[in-house]
Amino acid sequence: MTDRHLVVGAGPVGRHVAQLLAARGSDVTVATRSGTDTGITGVAHVTVDASDVDALTAAAEGCSVIYNCANPADYTTWKEFWPPLAAAFLGAAERTGAVLAITGNLYPYGPVEGPMHEGLPDAATDYKGKLRAKMWADATALHDQGRIRAVEVRGSDYVGLGVGDNGHVTRQIPGALKGKRAWVIGRKDQPHSFTDVLDTARLLIAAAEDESALGRIWLVPTNRPVTQEEAITQVLASVGRPAVKVSPTPRAVFAAASWFVPIVRELKQLSYQWTAPYIVDDSAARTHFGMEPTPWDEVCRRSAVV
């Protein structure tokens, strides 16, 4: 296996993957539609339309792994964004023989009772969950046929360095650091798993390079669940700042906004995640990879960087 890697996407996961690979001396290229320079020493950058299978294949030639760390800038455009991109990833993986390592999420499971684990069916009924479930089903079908090698890593809502507006907790931190009240979706008192974006990158690399780990889903090692209020309070405390008032967005306000604000309408479909316990059972990955999550205090300190 060569030690060349193509990371598609320069968001929080892609940057962490690139940084980890570069730090160990691997040959790393980050591909984005705009040619974004991550500023990471030793990492090359190329401009690629990853939904173009020929362009993606050319960028991935000679690579051992293609990392799908892409994410649409507009949360409301998944129907247009993902199908051609997912198809191109499958095509490039088949043409080059590179492992396809997919950054997934928990949406495919839909509402669940009890902790989420890899043995649960992908049973979502909302369109985002069904779309992500189909992406993995398509990859699994080709993997089972021996046409590609693929693995998917799923984490819960991200916290950690660089997550910013992409995280339910981290988007509250800039205001909270100024003493402003934090308004959260759903309930503020339900236990919720928050996954460190760095741990997602760590597992993505480990799974991609472990032949025995391919062909299945792995849930990222994640710290014990906390409530949204606890998470925000603990991030502030990690940098010596006082707690702020944390309040749930009134249901009437949230419902009314969904009629006029597209992203709120999208979030409404997934609001079940914030009204009941939403907990990850990561025991399979911990056992297989011998991997523990980054200590929560450290995660909180990095989540406070804005």
CB atoms within 10 A of CB 252: 8
For residues 176 and 249, state if they share a domain: yes
Quote the Cα angle for 78-84-86, to 5°: 80
For residues 219 and 232, state if they share a domain: no
For residues 59 and 176, state if they share a domain: no
Q: What is the mean pLDDT of residues 2-6?
A: 95
For residues 11 and 125, state if they share a domain: yes
Q: What's the burial of 11, exposed, middle or buried (CB within 10 Å: 0-12/13-18/19+)?
A: buried
Question: To 10 degrees, the CA torsion angle through 159, 164, 165, 168?
Answer: 20
For residues 51 and 137, state if they share a domain: yes
**Residue 299, domain member (yes or no):** no
For residues 118 and 264, state if they share a domain: no
Contact (CB, 8 A) for 288 and 217: no
**Residue 185, domain member (yes or no):** yes
What percent of the chain clears pLDDT 70, i.e. is strictly above it? Answer: 95
Residue 261, pLDDT > 70, answer no
For residues 11 and 78, state if they share a domain: yes
Residue 58 host element (H or E): helix 53-60
Q: Which two tokens stand for residue 288?
A: 């297989």
Which one is predicted more confidently, 253 or 218? Answer: 218
For residues 67 and 208, state if they share a domain: yes
Going through 48-175 in order, the beta strands assigned E by DSSP cover 65-68, 99-105, 150-155, 157-159
**Residue 304, domain member (yes or no):** no
The span from the CA of 110 to the CA of 227, in Å, is 20
For residues 140 and 288, state if they share a domain: yes
For residues 155 and 171, state if they share a domain: no
The span from the CA of 223 to the CA of 133, in Å, is 25
Contact (CB, 8 A) for 299 and 292: no
Closest CA to 133 of 158, 109, 157: 109
Q: Which residues contact 251 (CB under 8 A, 6 or more apart)?
A: none
What is the domain-level CATH number for residue 21? 3.40.50.720
Domain count along the chain: 2
**pLDDT value for 212:** 98
Q: Which two tokens stand for residue 40?
A: 């990471």
Strands 27-32 and 43-47: parallel
Q: What is the mean pLDDT of the chain?
A: 95
Q: What is the mean pLDDT of residues 67-96?
A: 94
Residue 22, pLDDT > 90, answer yes
For residues 53 and 151, state if they share a domain: yes
Residues of the domain holding 289: 4-159+194-223+279-294
For residues 269 and 129, state if they share a domain: no
Q: Which two tokens stand for residue 76?
A: 């409301």
Closest CA to 243 of 251, 252, 234: 234
**Residue 85, domain member (yes or no):** yes
**Residue 256, domain member (yes or no):** yes
Contact (CB, 8 A) for 47 and 32: yes
**Residue 301, domain member (yes or no):** no
Over the stretch 280-306, which tens digit does the pLDDT of each residue have?
999 999 999 999 999 999 999 999 998
- 3-class secondary-structure state, position 184: strand
Which one is predicted more confidently, 256 or 9? Answer: 9
Residue 256, pLDDT > 90, answer no
Q: What's the burial of 295, exposed, middle or buried (CB within 10 Å: 0-12/13-18/19+)?
A: exposed
Question: CA Rg, the chain, in Å?
Answer: 19
